[in-house]
Structure 1
Amino acid sequence: MHIATRTFATALAVLGTATCLASPALADDAPPGGPLPPQLFNVKYTVTADKPVIAEIYYRDTDPPTFSEYSHDPYVFSPNTEATVGPNKPWVLVATLTDPMQWGMVLVQATGALPKATAGFNCTMEINGQVVKRNSGPKGALCSLRNW
């Protein structure tokens, strides 16, 4: 064995032994109190329209366990509702998510007799009281931090 290789191997062995003796945190025991719970975020969705209209609203109020489960059936994790919204009649939903950057989303579009081009939809998404996304559109609006 070459001298440099032996020196390196000896240094690794000494370092490994010293680390194991000096660091009880590296033991197999779990930290006291167990794992920390995931951080939860308060997500508030608000939908309005420039004119009174019956709106179809899709939203996310639950984090999917995995992306593959979400992509297999996104509607399981994206419930929808119909609501009459207008300038002074908002639709508001407050949800708790662990990853709102990935999963926070509200989408609105017109339904019913009013022509979609005249609805003038607006949406807002807040995380922990801070507005993080606003959007408007004549036929619908999407508020999400993720690019869908």
Structure 2
Amino acid sequence: MRSTMAVAAVLTLAGAAVGTAAPAAAQPVLHQVRYTVTADAPFYADIYYRDTEPATFSDYSHNPYIFSPKAEADIAPDRPWVLETRLADPNLWAMVLVQSGESPEIATPMLRCELAVDGTVVKTDSGSRGALCSIRNW
């Protein structure tokens, strides 16, 4: 009888422990991020963008190019370069940069970028040699 009561007590404690297990960590809310780059005239541009987030800032600082890939695009007023991605913290990591990438002797049209988060445009920029759209001040 005594051993039956001991087994019942152990089973009760084991059941209670299973019932009070810590819940799984919640997944972060991912925001829809859309980058749009264009130019006032046809032009071949270099575009750097962020479509993934590092686990820690030190991961980014040790090799930012892993987290900022480069696209080479033929853009024009009717041919924008567009990339959509999802980021947990766009205030910190969303970024698109367009630059001419050409010799200073080549005339560059006005380059433009736009950054939208969850359907709302949050940053625009333009320039004759390049443009940077980022919520964070780099």
Aligned counterparts, 1:76-115, within 5 A? 76-112=66-102, 115=105
1:50 maps onto 2:40 in alignment: yes
Instruction: Give the TM-score normalised by the residue count of structure 1.
Output: 0.75
Q: Secondary structure at the match of 1:118?
A: coil
Tell me the TM-score normalized by structure 2: 0.80
In the alignment, structure 1 residue 41 sits paired with structure 2 residue 31: yes
The equivalent residue for 2:137 is 147
C-alpha distance 116-69 of structure 1, shift in aligned 2 (>3 A): farther
Structure 1 residue 111 displacement after superposition: 2.9
Q: 1:120 aligns with which of 104, 107, 110?
A: 110
Q: CA deviation at 1:39?
A: 0.6
**Which 5+ residue runs of structure 1 have no aligned equivalent?**
1-27
Match of 2:22 in 1: 30
> Identity rate of aligned residues, in percent?
54
Q: How far is the alpha carbon of 1:30 from its aligned partner?
A: 1.4
Query: Aligned residues, how many?
Result: 119
Deviation string for 1:87-110 (max 9, x for gaps)? 111000001111100000000001
